[in-house]
Amino acid sequence: MRKILHIDMDAFYASVEQQDNPEFRGKPVIVGADPRAGAGRGVVAACSYEARRFGIHSALPIGQAWRLCPDGIYLRPRFSRYQEISGQIMDVFREYTDTVEPLSIDEAFLDVTGSTTLMGPADRIGGKIKAEIRERTGLTASVGVAPNKFLAKVASDLDKPDGFVVVPDDGAAAFLAPLPISRLWGVGPRTESRLRALGLETIGDLATRGRDRLVADLGSGGGHLWNLAVGIDDRPVIANWAVKSVSNETTFERDTRDRDALVSTLRRLSDQVAARLRKKHLRAGTVTLKLRYSSFTTYTRQSGLREPTGDGEIIFQRVRALFDRFELDEPVRLIGVGTTRLTGADGPGTQLGLFADSGADSSGKLSDAMDRIHERFGNRALHRASDLP
Ligand SMILES: [Mg+2]
């Protein structure tokens, strides 16, 4: 059985605004065009749960929202801020699995099947991610844990906000049966009224009707709906990018509190990570320190870089600053350096495009890049040699 998580932030834009502006907390916050500046134009991009009590929801024309709740706090969206927080959330996901499929700025599927041996059962991983998001951003997420994507997505939505719903491996049919058919993917208003005309109200009704009759009712789409109704969904979680993170770590033969030894290990790991980044023509936007004490208590601390880098010295300086904040109450068992938010070495947006097109031009770019790397390795080696006593 696969272990799939669907994680969705609660009222994301509005929650970020409430987090950044404590005076907005507990109040109806509507993010979208300013209704006073352009009455009737634009729609609600997001609204807080307090605003929903007035009947406001996303995609509602902003003029209507204004009439429902004239005393609400109306804000224009700050996409770069939301993007920044989104990056922090995606970084949390990628600490638990490389198989992350973002669906939008604030939600993603994670396949954690391969993570359970090291990190414990999927529901525990889901709980840790939820707590970690809360700790790093102050925001709440709703989590669905299930054996496939469809079930996970339904589960995360069932108990919002701050939801946590687990569908057991053998519990799909029982979980789905009482839910209305509108919860099924692919059931729009038209299909819904056709199904209702057949007397089918719940997903359980659909499952009971059976595959053959549903195909007779609806055509080939009926088979697909029946699969979902009984909890069958084989679609894989597809990571949108082959390389999510580059990291190296070391477990010590004997646990240590020797700061100098730990710092020189961090330097070595930083250089190794940087060399791997350059080899893949990548730069990292975030640096992570991982530290595990002898009790197995593990900490990760992250630092965002203003400019993405493939430079070992820059990575080391960041990771060292993170390390200096630890008191080392216990001996250290493992230490690691990670990098995420990777972009192509030619700048953001190009990503892995360096190798994508063939021809004289790209091979020229490639050799230029190789030369630059050799240059940097050369400089690095000299620089490092001068550091030696
Ligand atoms: Mg959301």
301 and 266 Cβ atoms separated by less than 8 Å: no
pLDDT (0 to 100) of residue 178? 97
Q: How confident is the model at residue 83 (pLDDT cuts 50, 70, 90)?
A: confident
Q: Are 138 and 131 in contact (CB under 8 A)?
A: no
SS3 315: helix
Cα–ligand 1 centroid distance for 16 (angstroms): 12
How many angstroms separate the CA atoms of 282 and 154, rounded? 36
Q: 194 C-alpha vs ligand 1 centroid, how far in Å?
A: 30
Task: Give pLDDT, residue 36.
Answer: 63
Q: How do the residues of the chain divide into helix, strand and coil, expressed in percent and rounded to 5?
A: 45, 25, 30
pLDDT tens-digit readout, 362-371? 333 433 443 3
142 CA to centre of ligand 1 in angstroms:
8
Question: Which residues fall within 8 angstroms of residue 306, CB to CB, at 6 or more apart?
Answer: none
Q: What's the confidence (pLDDT) of residue 241?
A: 54
- Please report how the helices 221-229 and 211-218 are oriented relative to each other, as an axis angle in degrees rounded to 10: 140
CA–centroid distance, 348 to ligand 1, in Å, is 26
Sheet of 282-293, strand order: 246-256, 332-344, 282-293, 298-309
Q: How far is the CA of 10 from the centre of ligand 1 (A)?
A: 5
Identify whether 253 is a catalytic site residue. Answer: no
Using CA atoms, how far apart are residues 338 and 315, in angstroms rounded to an integer?
Answer: 9
Q: Which helix (H) or strand (E) holds 75?
A: strand 73-75
Per the residue annotation, which of 107, 192, 201, 313 is the catalytic one?
107
Contact 336, 248 (CB under 8 A): yes
CA dihedral 194, 197, 199, 203 (to 10 degrees): 20
Instruction: Tell me 242's DSSP state.
Output: S
Least confident of 10-14, 31-35, 64-68, 229-233: 31-35
On the question of pLDDT at 242 being above 90, the answer is no
Q: Which of 65-69, 244-248, 348-352 has the highest mean pLDDT?
A: 65-69
d(CA 333, CA 314) in angstroms, rounded, equals: 25
Question: What is the edge-to-edge ordering of all strands in the sheet holding 29-32?
Answer: 44-47, 29-32, 73-75
Q: What single string gives the DSSP state of each residue in 145-179?
A: EESSHHHHHHHHHHT-SS-EEE--TT-HHHHHTTS
pLDDT at residue 237, rounded to an integer: 85
Q: Report how far ligand 1's centroid is from the alpha carbon of 9 (Å).
A: 4
pLDDT tens string 144-156: 999 999 999 999 9
